[in-house]
Structure 1
Amino acid sequence: MIWYIARRLLQMIPVFLGATLIIYLLTFYTSGDPILTLAGDKPISPAVEQRLREQYNLDKPVLVQWLIYLGNVVTLDLGVGFNGRSISEQIAQAFPTTFKLALIAVAVETTFGIIAGVIAGLRKGTFIDTTLLMLSLLLIATPTFVIGFVAQFVLGVKLGIAPINVGRDPSWENLLVPGFVLGAVSFAYVLRLTRTSIAETVPSDHVRTATAKGLSRGGVVSRHILRNSLIPVVTFIGADLGALMGGAIVTERIFNVPGIGTLLFKSINDGESPLVVSLVTLMVIIFLLSNLVVDLLYGVLDPRIRYGK
């Protein structure tokens, strides 16, 4: 196991380097000259422009800039943005909020998606199965911003049981509705994945054997059906955690959540290239680590999977 983890961590290094290089090049080459963007319509003297370029290492070749940035990532000192604020402090303020929001969304899609998927898979072809499939298709076909506005209007305006905007109080209670909205589409995918895996596992020989031996229906479902059906579901959930962290922009904007999505949206509008690169790099790291955790969970779900040296 230790050798496997070490090998996977080593494999992450070239992926991380390649991803950060592409992000760095795309951000700084497609956004124009950051110094001119920073100055706006106001004229800037050559001396001030040169000083700013030296301050942000823009006077160096782009590969040198990237290497300096990697060194800052290793030391967890991401420098200062064009707005004069520490990038690390801005991320540290926004990250806990988005992390809580993503955890709520993952809990929603995992709990309700697996339960609904098991029910639909065990009752394949029935009215319940058809109803759940139609519900999942409706959620997949409906854009997230529509679900968010409907939830905001019904729960916040009409019923008054949830805050319309999160604002400066990103507590667990205030993040419940945005979390449900963020996890709604993923819930539909988890439902359909679980339903398909369960339906394929039910007629298996080992399931029939366990049933013939007199094992209870609950024991057959939990030990022999559900456990063997969760690998594709866990794969999706692990990859989805990174996607939720980076894809929360729409949900955070609707509910005014002061998280990573809002910070990323604002930094793109303001031309804060260093902050944009740092935020996307954080998403890459989260995605890589979540995939490592998923791979380790395979051995827990399926005892046949072993991690050799």
Structure 2
Amino acid sequence: MNLATYINDLLYRYDCVIIPDFGGFVTTRIGAKMDRDMQTFYPPTKQITFNSHLKHNDGLLANYIASAENTSFDKASSAISLSVIKWQNQLQSKAIEIDNLGVLMLNENKQIIFEPNTNVNYLTESFGLSTVKSTAIPRLKEQNVVVKPLTPVTSSTNDDKKVIPAFIKYAASAAILLTLGFAGYNGYQNNQQKEVLAKKEIAIQKKIQAATFVISNPLPTIDLNVVKEVYKPYHIVAGAFQAIENAETKVNQLKEKGFNASIIGTNKWGLIQVVFNSYVNRNDAINNLYKIQKTISKDAWLLDETLN
């Protein structure tokens, strides 16, 4: 079994993939950026880091392998443990290159150091986007430009001016006066119309305010108790069953132990899924998952419906 293949698959969908008893690969989203020195544009991506303190088994990797290999959760967990032992032994003598992820090695203090492979982009939103390199744009050097002053142009001299007859001046003045008088009359008419419309509107408003409406046979009031359903996409799965009777028996057993157990439907293999509880917040679901794995069932795992 090539463990790196399944880790790569999960990193496209999740922000963190934990290898039990070894460490976790964590992704951080990096926005698009530009290298001005290289004239290169880089699309948004997921930066991969390694955290050796994330060793607790959250069930994500084992459950995915069990589904892909069509095997049980326990067998998938055993296969992961064997791969971890192999990696730990190899690290004592040389660096390990994990397909598409990067290189793991030990430093002087025997701590795991990770160098990611930057050629793989795990951000699905950037699918099809590649690095673009642009040629530099040459800019024109400033040149000394001499601006010539504008020379005023005179139309004519005093001797060339023509004398305008007096009757033309009087006709122009009369036309201006007539135009002003007509405009003033139109403005007066508009103001009169506005005042009439305003008075009519006030009278209508008074009639509406004075009117009363009486219903002789009013309908009886009805009290409706509406329960708002809260969407809970995070489930702690207790098991999957072929028979509905077995699933209902499991639900009753969990309820007797104080869990808000329920059946959430069937998975893609046609098995009926039973959950310990469902949650609105992902952090609450993960915290309760750890408690259940320590006290009730180590095979419990988290189902995240927001990723479907």
* TM-score, length of structure 1 as denominator length: 0.20
Q: Which structure's residues are more often strand, by fraction?
A: 2
Q: Which structure's residues are more often helix, by fraction?
A: 1
Higher relative contact order (CA 8 A, sep 6+): 1
Structure of larger gyration radius: 2
* TM-score, length of structure 2 as denominator length: 0.20
